[in-house]
Chains A and B, each alone.
Chain A
Amino acid sequence: MKYMFITISLLLLAVAPFFGQMEISLSKINNITSIDYKLFWDLRIPRVITAFFTGALLGLSGLIFQSLFRNPMSTPFTLGVASGATLGTAFAIVFGFISFVALFGFLGALLTIIILFALTSKLKTYETSSLLLVGIALSFFYSASLMILFYLSDETQSYEIIRFTMGSLDVVGLTHTIPVVVASILLLFMSLGYKKEIKLLLTSYDNAFLKGIEVQKTNTVLLISVSIAIGVAVSITGPIGFVGLIIPHILRIIYKKSADKLLIQTFFYSGIFLVFCDLISRKLGTASDVPIGVITSFLGGPFFIYLLIRKRK
């Protein structure tokens, strides 16, 4: 029972590609000439894998951010990395670099990380809370810049930008899937390697210091790695909200364990959650898929409130 989440994940990953607006028959997916083959291997499989690993990456990032900032409201997007990616993407859309959208998104994220840590190193005292504030200020600046880009764009471009900010799992082939898979798995192993440090930071900074942890260095290494991983995910799928905020909270309520013991669980359940949400968005029968960010918030919000109320009792 302890590793139930792995079983669920595998089952879901096996079944999910068969759901969607078009029925796929199992017998035809090995027939190279059929439409089913293309649909299954070029669209459905990459989509489900992207959904799972993006969810996993966002959930794990959220858990680590909430632990390091000691702020339950932190999300993977709090530091402005996602806004940076969005701005980069919008820039590519407006100025005609359509084929390099993901690359520009990632550059936007990377630039944000550099600005962020360059600015905080200028601050006299090192505190994660000041980093948080710089990140939030940066996000506002980016929103303003995005508005300017909106004014420069035509109608189709505006629509594309808006569609990106709502998050999308439309990927074709594995070129965009592989970076997300690699980034999320690297992040998982890295966070597992830093398990003890994370736990010590969850006692108190002084205690972590006294037990031989380089507090500032550890924080910086973790924050930068998580930020880069987020940059990879967001530049490909757009900022899919809510997974990173809510799944860590839900698991903390259910398991009643500290963050360091929830790394693997968060990884898998966040992945499951996003695949599940994606299934719903594809099965609603609307003309085009409902943006994935809408579904995650729509399902996650009420469930989270339910858990909070139940916890109080």
Chain B
Amino acid sequence: MLTISDFSNNILSNINMHLQENENLIILGSNGAGKSTLAKVLCGIINSHSIEVFKYKLHTLHAKKRAELINYIPPKLEVFDEHISLMEYLELSTLYSNISVNEVLSLLCLDDLKDKSCKTLSSGEQQLTMLASSMLHNAKITIFDEPTANLDPQKTLNVYNILKSDKIKNRIIITHDLSLAYKLGYKILYMEDGKIAFFDESRKFFEKSNLDDFFGSSLKRIDDFFMVNL
């Protein structure tokens, strides 16, 4: 479904990865390890000749076709014009989905904000706006860059339920939240200094010896939850 072969730039080195049909992925790694850079390469924002998506070379695809296949949701909502409202932003994002903007708005409890300028939304509200846009865009593969950062527990739960629902087709999720990664149970890619340090089943990643290697004593496991050992 998605392949990156022998990609290197000034941040990433020698990246090879292949995802099977209908395989979802979690990308983990410390700050500055190159997770977002990898995401931008995968979706084509950083131009390369190394990506193959659904048997097409990404850089040869027509822009519309590319948008149908892959989408990237950045960690922060970027809107230049102060007069673009949440509603307008979502209308712009509506591409390949059958659900309406209004349905998505009520699903994420954003109805009251729909006429507000995107620039005046709080960071949590922006996060939800982008999740809403990903549902309306409905690309075959969506890469989420830290979709649950900035959210309160209630909203995190709401987002979690949407992320694992069929409202999103195939997903690649970048996160620091190990509990989330564990619950979702997708294949895991762990990055370190621009290299892939681990790429295998979730079960193997969460083995104690492996976790000790990557996180040392900074991580504490309680049942199925992983927290920072303060």
> Which residues does A use to contact B, with CB under 8 Å?
67, 70, 196, 199-200, 202-204, 206-207, 209-214, 252, 256-259
CB nearest neighbor in A for B143: A210
On whether A258 and B63 interact (CB within 8 A), knowing A199-B88, A206-B74, A209-B44, the answer reads no
Contact residue among A70, A204, A210, A256 (Cβ-Cβ distance under 8 Å from B71): A210
Which residues, 62 to 120 on B, are CB-close (under 8 Å) to A?
A: 63-68, 71-72, 74, 78-81, 83-84, 88-89, 92-93, 95, 118
Contact present for A258 and B83 (CB under 8 Å): yes
Besides the contacts A209-B45, A210-B45, A211-B95, what 10 more A-B pairs have beta carbons closer than 8 Å?
A199-B84, A202-B80, A202-B84, A203-B78, A203-B79, A206-B45, A206-B74, A212-B64, A258-B81, A258-B88
Contact present for B81 and A202 (CB under 8 Å): yes
Which residues from chain B contact A207 at a C-beta distance below 8 Å?
A: 78
Which residues from chain A contact B83 at a C-beta distance below 8 Å?
A: 252, 256-258
Which residues from chain A contact B78 at a C-beta distance below 8 Å?
A: 203-204, 206-207
Q: How far is the CB of A209 from chain B (nearest CB, A)?
A: 6
B58 proximal to A (CB < 8 A): no
Q: How far is the CA of A211 from the CA of B45 in the complex (A)?
A: 11
Give 13 pairs: A residue, B residue, CB < 8 Å, sorted on A: A67-B81, A199-B84, A199-B88, A203-B79, A203-B89, A203-B92, A204-B78, A206-B78, A209-B45, A210-B67, A212-B67, A252-B83, A256-B83
Which residues from chain A contact B25 at a C-beta distance below 8 Å?
A: none
Q: How far is the CA of A200 from the CA of B84 in the complex (A)?
A: 10
Q: How many A-B residue pairs have CB under 8 A?
A: 58
Q: How far is the CA of A214 from the CA of B61 in the complex (A)?
A: 11
On whether A203 and B67 interact (CB within 8 A), knowing A209-B45, A211-B137, A258-B88, the answer reads no
0/1 string, B25-57, CB within 8 A of A gives 1? 000000000000000000111000000000000
Contact present for B63 and A212 (CB under 8 Å): yes
Which residues from chain B contact A196 at a C-beta distance below 8 Å?
A: 92
Q: How far is the CA of A256 from the CA of B81 in the complex (A)?
A: 10
Q: How large is the interface on B (under 10, 10 to 19, 20 to 34, 35 or more residues)?
A: 20 to 34
On whether A213 and B63 interact (CB within 8 A), knowing A200-B92, A206-B74, the answer reads yes
> Which residues does B use to contact A, with CB under 8 Å?
43-45, 63-68, 71-72, 74, 78-81, 83-84, 88-89, 92-93, 95, 118, 137
Contact present for B92 and A199 (CB under 8 Å): yes
Contact residue among A203, A212, A252, A257 (Cβ-Cβ distance under 8 Å from B80): A203
Which residues from chain A contact B45 at a C-beta distance below 8 Å?
A: 206, 209-210
Which residues from chain A contact B63 at a C-beta distance below 8 Å?
A: 209, 212-214
Q: How far is the CB of B29 from chain A (nearest CB, A)?
A: 21
CB nearest neighbor in B for A67: B81
Q: How far is the CA of A67 from the CA of B84 in the complex (A)?
A: 13
**Most A CB within 10 A of own CB, among B43, B92, B95:** B92
Which residues from chain B contact A211 at a C-beta distance below 8 Å?
A: 67, 92-93, 95, 137
Q: How far is the CB of B54 from chain A (nearest CB, A)?
A: 16
Q: How far is the CA of A210 from the CA of B68 in the complex (A)?
A: 9
Q: How far is the CA of A203 from the CA of B79 in the complex (A)?
A: 4
CB nearest neighbor in B for A256: B83
Q: How far is the CA of A213 from the CA of B45 in the complex (A)?
A: 12
**Most B CB within 10 A of own CB, among A196, A203, A259:** A203
Q: How far is the CB of A163 from chain B (nearest CB, A)?
A: 39
Q: How far is the CB of B46 from chain A (nearest CB, A)?
A: 10
CB nearest neighbor in B for A202: B81
Contact present for A258 and B84 (CB under 8 Å): yes
Q: How far is the CA of A70 from the CA of B64 in the complex (A)?
A: 24
CB nearest neighbor in B for A70: B80
Q: How far is the CB of B133 from chain A (nearest CB, A)?
A: 9
Q: How far is the CB of B43 from chain A (nearest CB, A)?
A: 7
Q: How far is the CA of A214 from the CA of B137 in the complex (A)?
A: 17
Contact residue among A199, A200, A210 (Cβ-Cβ distance under 8 Å from B43): A210
Which residues from chain B contact A257 at a C-beta distance below 8 Å?
A: 83
